[in-house]
Amino acid sequence: MQRQPQKSKIGRSQPADAARENGFYGQDILSVDQFNRARLEYIFDVAHEMRVLVERFGSADLLQGKILANLFYEPSTRTSSSFMAAMLRLGGQVIPINNVQYSSVSKGESLPDTIRTLESYSDVIVIRHPEVGSAATAAYYAEKPVINAGDGVGEHPTQSLLDLFTVVEELGRVDGLKVAMVGDLKYGRTVHSLTKLLLDFDVELTFVSPEILRMPGEILEKMQRSGRSYVETESIQEVIESVDVLYVTRVQKERFTDLAEYDRVKDFYVVDEELMRRAKEEMIVMHPLPRVGEISYAVDDDPRAAYFRQMRNGMYIRMALLASVLGKA
Amino acid sequence: MQRQPQKSKIGRSQPADAARENGFYGQDILSVDQFNRARLEYIFDVAHEMRVLVERFGSADLLQGKILANLFYEPSTRTSSSFMAAMLRLGGQVIPINNVQYSSVSKGESLPDTIRTLESYSDVIVIRHPEVGSAATAAYYAEKPVINAGDGVGEHPTQSLLDLFTVVEELGRVDGLKVAMVGDLKYGRTVHSLTKLLLDFDVELTFVSPEILRMPGEILEKMQRSGRSYVETESIQEVIESVDVLYVTRVQKERFTDLAEYDRVKDFYVVDEELMRRAKEEMIVMHPLPRVGEISYAVDDDPRAAYFRQMRNGMYIRMALLASVLGKA
Amino acid sequence: MQRQPQKSKIGRSQPADAARENGFYGQDILSVDQFNRARLEYIFDVAHEMRVLVERFGSADLLQGKILANLFYEPSTRTSSSFMAAMLRLGGQVIPINNVQYSSVSKGESLPDTIRTLESYSDVIVIRHPEVGSAATAAYYAEKPVINAGDGVGEHPTQSLLDLFTVVEELGRVDGLKVAMVGDLKYGRTVHSLTKLLLDFDVELTFVSPEILRMPGEILEKMQRSGRSYVETESIQEVIESVDVLYVTRVQKERFTDLAEYDRVKDFYVVDEELMRRAKEEMIVMHPLPRVGEISYAVDDDPRAAYFRQMRNGMYIRMALLASVLGKA
C-alpha cells in the first residue's frame, strides 16, 4: 500500500494546481467550495473517460486491492449503491456499513473512533450522516481520504458535481446556457449547491418557485456579490420556451402551513407532455430523484428527459473522485 | 460493456430456439412458463457444468466486471445469499439492497424509477418483492435482464428450476419417475410451479395433503387438459414404498381454522427414520427449506436426504441463469 | 475446489503439530484453548507477514475464488468489518448476513439448517451469535471451517489473538513483561480470554478493578494451578510506573447496584495525560474498543496509545486465520 501524503489537519484540500498530480491525491471531498473551474474541468474529464471505459469494457482494474468503507448513518439506496458500483467497476472492493442504528457506532461510540477503526481496514471512506459538519469531522480525524455523501442540510458535493457534469455531457458546454431551477428552492440542498458551482460560469439563472419556497437570501446575495444576475418567478410557463436546462425538484406538501396555498400552486410545478411541447428541441430536463409526481411518467420517453442518464453520470463522477483521491486517475 | 439486444417491451423472453445463442442472452427470467423441455435441458446442462467448475476450481471469471443488483424488498437469507454466491463464484460483483424498508425505495418512489436507477449502475437485476407481477413490471421498465426471485404468491422460477435440476442430478432422469408432493399443496407456491414444469415430462404424480390443503382445482384441470393423470391421497404411508421423489413441504398450523383437524393430521406429514425404512433404496427426499419439524433431523444422515444438496443446486442453477442472460454461458 | 480434510465431529481442531501443514487447514477456530505457544507463534508469524503484505501491496490474491459467509446474529460493525476486510484483502469475497432478525434464520429455522445452507454456498463461515456454545454447534454441523466471532459471554478467540499479537508487534516479546488489566474484570470476556492465553507465557499480571468487579475466582484458581502469580489492586496509580502493557476496559455504570460506589471509583479508571506522564517511555496502552470515556482523547496522540494499531492488527490476525484454515497460508 502506498503511503498517503500528509493531509492538512483541517481536513480540507486546497484548490491547488490541478495539473500537478491533479491535486486530488490523498485529499478529502467535502464541499463544492473545493471546486474551482480548473478542478471541475479536471474531474469532468476523468468522469468522461470513466463513461467511455464503462461503455466499452464495463469495468477496469485501476483500484484493484483497494477497499472503500461505505458508511451510511442514514439510508440512501441511490447514493450508497452508486458509490458501491463506482468502486466495484474500478476493480476495488466495498465494506458496506448501512445499519448503523443497530451497530456499535450507535452504542455511544464517537464518530472519530468509528472513523479511525474503519480507516484501519480501508483505503478510502465515504460517509453520509444526518448532522452538518460530520463529514468534516470525519476527515479531520482520518488519515485516509474521506468523501462526503451528504451531511444533513449541509453539503452533498458529489450530487452537485454529477448535476453539472450532466449539463456538460448533454449540452457540451455550460457558458451561455439558460438554466431554470424549479420547485422547492428554499430547503433544496441540491439547488443551493448547484447554484454555488454555477457562479464560476456565465449562465443565465431563473429561480422558479412558490413565494414561500424562494431561494434563500444569502445565496441570492452571494450571486450579486459575484456579479451574477438572476430572475425569480412563480411560473414555469414563463421560462419553458427559452431554457436550456430545466432542473426540477419536489414541492413537498409538508412545507406549507396554508394548505389552500399548496393546492393553488402544486400544479404549476408539474412537468408534463403539454409543457414539454413548448420547450426547445435541444434542452434537457433534470431531477435529482426520487420524484413523486412532479414529472409525469409520459415525459420519460422524451429524449430531453435526462434524469436517468443523470443517475448514471453519478456513477462516473464517483468513479472519477475515487480514482483521483486514491492517486489512480 | 456490450450493448444488450433489444428486449420485447412485455418483458418476457419468448421460448425461442434454444440452440441459437441459447435464447437467454439479454432476456428476463420471470416465470416457469418460459421453460419448455429444450430450454430446461439447456439450462440444466449449463448448471451441471457450473457444478463441475465449482467442484474442481471453486470459481471462474466468466462474469468478471459484471455487477448484479440484488434487490430484496422482503428478507430471504437463503435466496439472496444463493444469488450472491452465484455471481461471486463467476467472478462478478454484487450490490446488495436488502433493507428497502429503510431506504428511498420505500419513501414513495415507484418501482419503475427504482429499477431504472439500479440498472444505471448494474448489468443484471434480481428482484424479490411481495406483490404478484412486480418482477414483470420491473422487467418491462428495465433494459437490463431481470430475474424474478419470488413475487409474493406469484412465481419463484429459480426455485422450481433448482427443484427439477435436483431430480435430474440425483436420479439421472425425469421421465418414468413416480413423484409425490406432500404437505400444504393449496398455498405452496413451490409445488404449484414444479407441477407446471413437470407437465412436459412423463411422470406419475401423487398429491399427498390434508383435505383442506389439496392442490388447487386450476392446477388439476391444467394437468387434465395436458393429458396427465394424477392421484390424490391423505396419507404418505400409501405412497412411500413406490415413490422415486418425495417432495415435502410444511403444513402450517395457521392454515387450519379447526385446530382439532390440525392435531389429527399433523403427524401424518412428518418424515422420520421409520417411514424412510419403508422407502426404496434409490429414491430422494426433497424440501425447499426452511423446515420446521416435517422432516426429523435423524433423516439428515440418510443418503436419500437430498435437501441440502438441493440448496447447493440452487447456486448452480443461478450461476447458469446469470451467465446465460449475460451472454457468457 | 479442494476437498476439505475430514473434520472431527466435535468440531474442535486438536492442538496438533503446528509444523505439519500448520495444523489449521480445514479446522475450526472456536476457542483460545486451541492455541498453545507453538500455534500462537505460527499464527503470529503469518499475521506479521500479512501486515508486511498489506503495507507493501495493499492486498493479495491468496484466497481468490473463495467465499466467506459472514453470519452475524447480533450487530458488530467492528468485528464484521474486520473479517470482511481480511477476506477482501486476500482476494476473496464475502456474503454478509447481518440482519438475521429480519431473515429466514429468525423464522424458527434451526442454526444447523442455516449453517448447512450457508456452507453450500461458501468456503468458510464466520459466526457471531448471542448464545454460548453456538459457534461449537455450528462447527459440529458444518463440513467447512467455522470461525467463532463471539458467542455471547463465551469466547471471542480472534479478539484475544489480536490482543496478544499487538503486544508482540509493539514490544517484540511477551515473556518478562508486566501486564496490568484494568476496569471490569468480572464480566469482561476480553480480559478472561487474554489471561488464559498468557498462562503459556512468563508475565507478571496485575488485576486492577473495583472490589465488585474483580477477576472471577475460577480464573484466579486456574492461574494458581498453572503456577502463575498475580497481584490484585483497586488503583491504577500503584502500577502505572512499572507496567509494560496497560490493558484498559470499560467500567459500566449498569454493573453497580450502589451508585455511590460507582461515583467513588469511576475516576480511578480513567487514563489521561496526567497518568501517562508517570508511565514508562516504552510501554503501551491497549483497549478492545469501543471506549466511552475511560481513555481521554488527549492520549490518542501519545505514541504509546496502541489501541488503533490494535484494531488494524485484528485485520492481520483474521487474514492469517482465514488463509490458514483454507490451506493457503
Taking any CB pair shorter than 8 Å as contact, residues of chain C touching chain A are 54-59, 75-78, 81-82, 84-85, 88-89, 96, 98-99, 289-292, 297, 308-309, 311-312, 315
Mutate to test the interface with C, among A4, A66, A93 (most CBs of C within 10 A): A93
* pLDDT at site A7: 46
Sequence letter at residue C137: T
Average pLDDT over residues A244-253: 91
Residues of chain A found within 8 Å of residue B84, distances taken between Cβ atoms: none
One domain for residues B106 and B167: no
- pLDDT: which is higher, B254 or A46: A46
* pLDDT at site A254: 78
Is A14 contained in some domain? no
Is C6 contained in some domain? no
Confidence of residue B22 (pLDDT cuts 50, 70, 90): low
* pLDDT at site C153: 86
Is A283 contained in some domain? yes
Residue C41 corresponds to which cell in the numbers above? 507463534
One domain for residues A120 and A55: yes
One domain for residues A150 and A162: no
Maximum distance among all alpha carbons in chain B?
61
For residue C55, pLDDT over 60 is answered with yes
Taking any CB pair shorter than 8 Å as contact, residues of chain C touching chain B are 1-2, 64-67, 69, 93, 95-97, 99-100, 102-105, 107-109, 112-114, 116-118, 120-123
Instruction: Please write the tens of the pLDDT for every residue from B142-179.
Output: 999 999 999 988 899 999 999 999 999 999 999 999 99
One domain for residues C97 and C226: no
Q: Do C65 and B58 touch (CB under 8 A)?
A: yes
Beta strands across the sheet bearing C124-129: C93-97, C67-72, C124-129, C146-151
Question: What is the C-alpha to C-alpha distance for residues B309 and A289, in angstroms, rounded to an integer?
Answer: 44
Residue C120: closest C-alpha in chain B = B312
Residue A65: closest C-alpha in chain C = C59
Is A33 contained in some domain? yes
For residue C263, pLDDT over 50 is answered with yes
User: CB of A285 within 8 A of CB of A271?
Assistant: yes
Confidence of residue A99 (pLDDT cuts 50, 70, 90): low
Is A169 contained in some domain? yes
Question: What is the C-alpha to C-alpha distance for residues A115 and B17, in angstroms, rounded to an integer?
Answer: 55
Nearest Cα of chain A lies from the Cα of C13 at a distance, in angstroms, of: 29
* pLDDT at site B51: 98
* pLDDT at site A17: 44
Mutate to test the interface with A, among B70, B109, B115, B117 (most CBs of A within 10 A): B117
* Among the listed residues B24, B19, B18, B20, the one whose alpha carbon sits nearest the alpha carbon of residue B5: B24
**Domain tally, chain B:** 2
Residues of chain B found within 8 Å of residue C116, distances taken between Cβ atoms: 308, 311
Mean pLDDT of all residues in chain C?
89
Average pLDDT over residues C138-151: 97
One domain for residues C194 and C114: no
* pLDDT at site A101: 56
* pLDDT at site A107: 52
Instruction: Please write the tens of the pLDDT for every residue from B213-237.
Output: 999 999 999 999 999 999 999 999 9
For residue B18, pLDDT over 60 is answered with no
* pLDDT at site C22: 60
Q: Do B290 and C108 touch (CB under 8 A)?
A: yes
* pLDDT at site B269: 87
Is A13 contained in some domain? no
One domain for residues A149 and A37: yes
Question: What is the C-alpha to C-alpha distance for residues B84 and B94, in angstroms, rounded to an integer?
Answer: 6
Lowest mean pLDDT among B113-122, B253-262, C132-141: B253-262
One domain for residues A43 and A96: yes
Residue A98: closest C-alpha in chain B = B99
For residue B317, pLDDT over 80 is answered with yes
Average pLDDT over residues B299-319: 97
Domain that holds residue C81: 20-156+312-325
Residue C100: closest C-alpha in chain A = A102
Residue B72: closest C-alpha in chain A = A77
> Which of B94-108, C108-122, C315-329 is most confident?
C315-329
One domain for residues A63 and A181: no
Subunits close to C (at least 3 CB pairs below 8 A): A, B
Average pLDDT over residues C29-48: 96
For residue B103, pLDDT over 50 is answered with no
One domain for residues B34 and B69: yes
Confidence of residue A102 (pLDDT cuts 50, 70, 90): very low
One domain for residues A203 and A307: yes
Is C127 contained in some domain? yes
Mean pLDDT of all residues in chain A?
89
Residue B205 corresponds to which cell in the numbers above? 404424480
User: CB of B181 within 8 A of CB of B208?
Assistant: yes
Beta bridge partners of B230: B205
Instruction: Please write the tens of the pLDDT for every residue from C80-97.
Output: 999 999 999 999 999 999
Nearest to B67 among A57, A89, A309 (CB): A89
Residue A69 corresponds to which cell in the numbers above? 468503507
Residues of chain B found within 8 Å of residue A55, distances taken between Cβ atoms: 1
Q: What is the DSSP string of A58-101?
A: S---TTTT-EEEEEESS--HHHHHHHHHHHHHTT-EEEEE--GG
- pLDDT: which is higher, C102 or A272: A272
Average pLDDT over residues C276-282: 98
Residues of chain C found within 8 Å of residue A107, distances taken between Cβ atoms: 290
- The CATH number covering residue C183 comes to 3.40.50.1370
* pLDDT at site A148: 98
Is B217 contained in some domain? yes
One domain for residues B128 and B217: no
One domain for residues C164 and C101: no
